[in-house]
Structure 1
């Protein structure tokens, strides 16, 4: 009697415990279904070689190229109906060239090495002030005390927006990012649409205020580019502002929170960093590899492509699992699942993507995290976890939502 061949696993991000620790599931997909056609109408790539190729292949990101009748497209349209968020598809994140090229060029001026060098002393001051407050309190939630407020304050400063809006923007962006996850709850859909509308109104008011109060900041630069005859329309200007707020802080929150948790769980690696502060830049790269703040990135085929010996048709959603690629033993070796702050090729992770859509704010995130880990490990050599971590429950923008620590 012959045994039946094993059934190919199905990617199930709703499985119990997945968002707390998705890595065992990714390992199973890499081994048994590295190019996986999901019943919901998308393809999932989990091996480093395939993910790296997809990110650099120049495929589309515009959903208009998805084939009619695609189950995922139909589900999204059915979920939102005529309530589709106004700015969906208007940011550079969701645009192909030449629009992507134009928008990226406008925004990139704020992320030059010179601009970041000028910003660094202000980031140091912010970090030191937050560490001072942590030292006084002794028992804190690291996310609320440091990981969240730091990158939010930095991107708000870069944009030059009024501080009176910051708290409400923080609340609203926390709702809007849920649109990047699978959504079925009608109440959540309504909340996302409402938050998107309110955020758009706040951004429009900011832009109007900034026209009357120009300064040497990113928002003024975007406005001037529009006013000087570029083809940025008002919705595009608002969409880039909202993207910068969301992308400018959400991923760095998870980098700082997840990186700290990884250190707390591995005292040997923490000691390595404390004894050799010069290791901090590479340590940040390894933290990015070990637990990617953005777990996946998607592309859309405009013609058939072959990946890993499997043909994917035109008009298909293809999801690259960045988190899985960053743990692929075929590329990283047998210790791929371990934190190694001195890993020589750590910078080859794909956490910031690659190709035309490589994360524009990668250098900013690296700078912020580097300052945090250099100063926090020196300031709090006995930093310890002080309770159970809670995860944010997201599939894509995954990270701790609560990390209690004691400063020693």
Structure 2
């Protein structure tokens, strides 16, 4: 295909099932492309990694060149945005610095390490259910309930609230998808409003019933007299709840599928359990849990021969960067659990917006992958369906015979 005519179109039929040929075409078309819908997209590892570490903005107030889906309004109002526009995901320094500092006081490495026995317990229970069934949906039995249960228990959310919270977060997470229809945007706004109210009530209940949990710690987090406001607290809890399980579900499901499709690598992981940490990074590189990131340029940005104007919406194609042969070599499209630089994947961000829960994601995956391939050496894929998403692309079902 001519690089002059190629337009990146993730709505193309079949994209969600296998987007990687499209990302290869995107890289071949040049380091930066201006999309007809009014945004820029960059796809090479060096450029995406640099953008992640740059001081460019995540705050839509800086937009001067509106992409098509925002052109109906000349003003971007924070109060109309998901999570009130107050989560760390939507903040620049100094607000981001302050929020992350306060949340980090509750979300500590020690608190993550203390979860390992519970993660191991839940994984063993899930593997036992799968073994007993003989044929099972790995997403329903393992990849979803594990991270969902862990983040719910971390936050100290009563079990009776789990079902509705799950339903609402499955809708709110669609805000991270590009090209959402007007109907979908209405559903997102309604779910966001209800979720905001639910979290407000949970915080009120937790203030009266404090416990040894993350939500109690967030309520009391303090730095030189500074504490989270009520709306800031609600927004961070919503963000942690959604981010705390959605990306992990995707990573666990796609990672297991990749191992089953590459039995030589599964055999190697069984034989060399010390590869587990590197395997997590390589599986994350090979099939990225989050495909796209966005920044708003605060100054002109030079990418290759292109100068992107200040105030532009720029998308970094993480999934394209993670298979860029200019960085990874000719075998960028192959799964190699011993890849020495797999940790340089861009899946979990970098700089000030590096994923706060990276250690939790990696710990859960480091336990799941080797135990799954060891417990089920003859496992085979019966069928799978994809969730149809572009950004948080993952499996809706993965039926496996063990």
Q: TM over 0.5, yes or no? A: yes
Between the aligned partners of 2:83 and 2:93, the Cα distance in structure 1 is 18
Query: 2:9 corresponds to which residue?
Result: 12
Paired residues of 1:46 and 1:321 also in contact (CA < 8 A) = yes
Aligned residues: 400
Query: 1:196 corresponds to which residue?
Result: 192
Pick from 20, 23, 28 the counterpart of residue 25 of structure 2: 28
Q: 1:126/1:184 Cα in 2 relative to 1: closer, same or farther (>3 Å)? A: closer
Confirm or deny that 1:406 pairs with 2:397: no
Query: 2:34 corresponds to which residue?
Result: 37
Paired residues of 1:107 and 1:218 also in contact (CA < 8 A) = no
| Deviation digits for residues 215-234 of structure 1 (CA, Å, limit 9, x no counterpart) | 12111111113799525222
> 1:113 deviation in Å?
2.9
Query: 2:278 corresponds to which residue?
Result: 282
132-141 vs 185-194, greater mean Cα deviation: 185-194
Q: Point out where structure 2 has 5 or more consecutive residues left out of the alignment.
A: none
Confirm or deny that 1:65 pairs with 2:62: yes
Between the aligned partners of 2:270 and 2:321, the Cα distance in structure 1 is 29
Determine helix, strand or coil for the equivalent of 1:87.
Answer: helix
176-185 vs 244-253, greater mean Cα deviation: 176-185
| Deviation digits for residues 163-217 of structure 1 (CA, Å, limit 9, x no counterpart) | 1101111111001111111355343222211111111111011100110111121
* CA RMSD of superposed structures (Å): 2.0
Q: 1:181/1:88 Cα in 2 relative to 1: closer, same or farther (>3 Å)? A: farther
| Deviation digits for residues 13-41 of structure 1 (CA, Å, limit 9, x no counterpart) | 11111111111111111112320111111
Paired residues of 2:105 and 2:221 also in contact (CA < 8 A) = no
Between the aligned partners of 1:90 and 1:169, the Cα distance in structure 2 is 20
- With normalisation by structure 1, the TM-score equals 0.94
Confirm or deny that 1:54 pairs with 2:80: no
Confirm or deny that 1:146 pairs with 2:142: yes
Between the aligned partners of 2:159 and 2:107, the Cα distance in structure 1 is 22
181-190 vs 100-109, greater mean Cα deviation: 181-190
Alignment of 1:363-402 (within 5 A): 363-387=359-383, 389-402=384-397
- With normalisation by structure 2, the TM-score equals 0.95
Q: Point out where structure 1 has 5 or more consecutive residues left out of the alignment.
A: none
